[in-house]
């Protein structure tokens, strides 16, 4: 089994893929878009992509790809993120700090307080930044401790994200559906009828009335007009559970569009 993963070696995505299935082969891609595209082109069996971080919130590109393509969420994995400042040289040599934009945002205050005036450059992934940093003492990367080993860099500072507890949730996307395990989650996207006040309230009422637990609700623009949104909703339960199936089919009749992204086991 081959899992498409954001590369090169040393990313938090790689960590997530190993946590999901330590026996799978990994195929690395340059960005989230290519990682998902590899699955759509049947180059890999599954792909793993970040969807949400506890400090920075949703990875919006992932949300948009779920809306645009026929993808099934078949699993989720939670990984603890501990960013380090890595470089060939010393702190005083650093002229450029590179990393993935999410990592840069998660360390915004650390950078502002310690490297005022240093050039900040966003890169395709944390480990790609580490790879680049191995070529010059003037470049530091924000990446995992594992990346330091992999690319021969010094760890100049550890755990530099603005809040100590930092977790990213990854989703595994595939093309098959998952059978119920007894502890599942179902993800859907709902587009309400425009300009219908109370429409969201009505939808949430269907869940509340059936004691279905809502674990997440998030709005994203439809890209058609400012103020026009779709809602990404996660609920506890499996689409094959009678109560979930009935509730979702009732909601379907009340909304402009409803897309089921999949049911999958809840991560610990």
Note the residues at the interface with a copy of itself (CB under 8 A).
33, 52-57, 60-61, 78, 101, 105, 108, 112, 121-122, 162-163, 165, 167, 169, 197-198, 200-202, 204-205, 207-208, 211, 213-221, 223-229
In the bound state with a copy of itself, the residue whose beta carbon lies nearer, of 2 and 82, is: 82
- CA-to-CA distance for 203 and 196, rounded, in angstroms? 12
Nearest distance from C-beta of residue 149 to a copy of itself, angstroms: 26
In the bound state with a copy of itself, the residue whose beta carbon lies nearer, of 34 and 45, is: 34
Nearest distance from C-beta of residue 122 to a copy of itself, angstroms: 4
Nearest distance from C-beta of residue 4 to a copy of itself, angstroms: 17
In the bound state with a copy of itself, the residue whose beta carbon lies nearer, of 84 and 230, is: 230
In the bound state with a copy of itself, the residue whose beta carbon lies nearer, of 42 and 211, is: 211
Nearest distance from C-beta of residue 1 to a copy of itself, angstroms: 27
Q: Which residues are catalytic?
A: 168, 170
């Amino acid at each position: 089994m081959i899992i498409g993963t954001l590369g090169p070696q040393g990313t938090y995505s790689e960590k997530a893929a190993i946590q999901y299935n330590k026996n799978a082969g990994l195929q690395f891609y340059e960005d989230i878009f290519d990682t998902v595209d590899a699955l759509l082109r049947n180059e890999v069996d599954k792909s793993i992509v970040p969807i949400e971080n506890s400090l920075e919130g949703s990875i919006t590109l992932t949300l948009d790809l779920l809306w645009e393509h026929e993808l099934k969420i078949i699993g989720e994995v939670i990984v603890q993120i501990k960013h380090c400042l890595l470089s060939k040289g010393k702190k005083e040599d650093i002229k450029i700090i590179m990393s993935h934009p999410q990592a840069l945002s998660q360390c915004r205050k650390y950078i502002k307080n310690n490297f005022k005036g240093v050039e900040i450059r966003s890169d395709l992934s944390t480990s790609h930044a580490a790879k680049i940093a191995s070529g010059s003492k003037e470049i530091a990367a924000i990446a995992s401790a594992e990346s330091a080993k992999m690319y021969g860099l010094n760890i100049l500072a550890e755990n530099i994200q603005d809040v100590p507890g930092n977790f990213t949730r990854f989703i595994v996307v595939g093309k098959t559906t998952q059978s119920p395990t007894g502890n599942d989650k179902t993800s859907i996207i709902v587009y309400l009828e425009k300009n219908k006040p109370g429409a969201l309230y009505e939808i949430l009422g269907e869940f509340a009335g059936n004691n279905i637990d809502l674990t997440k609700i998030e709005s994203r623009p439809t890209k058609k007009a400012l103020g026009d949104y779709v809602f990404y909703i996660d609920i506890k339960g499996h689409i094959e559970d009678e109560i979930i199936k009935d509730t979702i089919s009732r909601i379907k009749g009340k909304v402009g569009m409803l897309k089921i992204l999949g049911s999958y086991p809840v991560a610990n």
